[in-house]
Structures are given as structure tokens and as C-alpha cells.
Amino acid sequence: MVSRVLITTDYLRPDDEVDRYLRQAGHETAHLPMRGRRDPEELAEALRGAEAALIANEPMTAGVLARAFGMTVLCSTNVPAGERPDESARVSDRSGGPAPTVEPSGESVRFSEPSGESVRLVERSGESVRFVELDELLADSDYVSVHTALTERTRGLLGEAAFRRMKPGAVLVNTARGPIVDERALADAVRSSEIAGAALDVVCVEPLPPDSPLRDVDGIVVYSHLAGQSAEARRAAGLAGAAELVASLKGAPRFAITLPATPRTAPVPA
């Protein structure tokens, strides 16, 4: 059965890899990229007659969904649209938009995560990654990259004591949530050469306030939530969304999202 698929993600274009994937799977595609703000009525009208859609960060309100009667499944790539970096921060080598970057690979990877879920995911993926305790990870790593959720347990997780454990040449990378890092302790650690520097895609208060301790610290680079905008990440997100869309149209979604039957402890808002 041929289904009409609406694609609104701005970096997905006609006849690109995602478009060809969907058409080879037997579906018709229609592109209506969102650039800037869009009237919800325009989106609702575009969704009429569509059986599925690939949406990035465009709001899908109850009103929009109520008027999209022909749509049976909605798959989202969950990749934010391009935005300008935080110009109030000290950032080197920046242009006006999210230029594609290159992701590091071929490194020796260690991780620390208390629940053990990541261990099972790594084992299934076949990746060569070693689990260590956090203290060992901090002491041995040249790059410490943060990917955990913000909870009361992780708030301020990386502070003065953590930076003392790290190598003098180590770099901290935070693409998770700002409050996981004690920003004043980080600034002090970089100024005193306790660690070499930090690259932050998130901060405690966005945009960076004038009195932030991160300002005017050589070695600390602050971006504006753009970590997911590498060429590799965009390609992977687009193809993953398209694959889930095709699976859902076949009645076999792999990553369906449903509301829990009972309340669960949610991550603490940033």
C-alpha cells in the first residue's frame, strides 16, 4: 500500500538519502520544510491526506493533530532546527549557522553509568567499550563527555572534587544539561590549569547571562545547543526516523512511545 509521507525537517530535501529510502519502500513523499515560524493551520492543512510525517522540532499541538484526520502515524527525528550560536559567549571559529562538523571516531572509550542499562546496549551493539567507575573514568580520560539526564543525583555531579581527579590536559564536553556541571568550579579549574578546558553545548542559564563565571575564561567554549547538528548526526537522525516511519506503517514500530500507566520519576527540568 502506497502511503503519502509529509517531511517538514528543513535539512531533509527531495531526492536526498532519506527521500530515496522512503520512495524505495514504496511511499510517496511531499516536502514542506519549516524555516522560522509557521502558522499551525498551514501545518494542519499539509497533514491532510498524509498517512505519516517526519517532523523535527515543529510543535505538534492537540489542535493540529485533531485536524490531521488522515494521518495514522507520526515519527519525529527530534533534531532541533538550526539556530545561531550563543553570540554572548566566547566561541572561536563560528559562522552564522550550524555548519556541518566531523565526529571523532577510533578512540578508546570508557563509560560510567550506574543503572547498567548502557552495558546491555553496548553488548548488543558489539561496540568495544569498557565500563569503569566514575572516579577511574575521570582520572584516566583525555576527554570527559557528559550524556546523563539531569536529576537530583546528577545535579552538580561534576564539581571541584571531580575536576581535581581529572588530568591537567583533560577536556570536559557537556552536551547533556547545564546544571550537571558546577560552572564556577569549572571556571576555577580551567583558570588554574587544573584541567585544559571545556566545550559546553548547554549551560545552567540560557542564553549565557552577563555575570556567568564562564565568561572571559580562556579554554572554555560555549555553543548554543548545536551538538546534534553535525552532518553525521543529521544523516543518522533522518534515516532512523524514516526507518521507524516505514516500520510503523507496516504495523511493527520499534520505538513506539506510549504514556505510562502509573506515574514515574521524571528528570528534573534544567
Question: Which residues have C-beta within 8 Å of that of residue 195, sequence separation ≥ 6?
Answer: 163, 166, 167, 168, 169, 170, 171, 172, 189
CA 257 → CA 44, 50, 74, distances in Å?
22, 20, 11
Residue 225 a catalytic site member: yes
**Alpha-carbon separation of residue 239 from 52, 77, 230 (angstroms):** 15, 9, 14
Cα separation, 238 vs 5, in Å, equals 13
Q: What is the DSSP annotation of 2-22?
A: --EEEE--TT--TTSHHHHHH
Exactly one of 152, 206, 232, 244 is catalytic; name it: 206
* Residue 160 phi, psi dihedral angles, 5° rounding: -55, -45
Q: Tell me how far apart the terminal alpha carbons of the chain are, to the nearest angstrom.
A: 44
State yes or no: is 206 an active-site residue.
yes
The single residue of 127, 225, 232, 244 carrying the catalytic annotation is: 225
Rounded Cα distance between 73 and 120, Å, is 29
Report, as residue numbers or ranges, the catalytic residues.
Answer: 206, 225
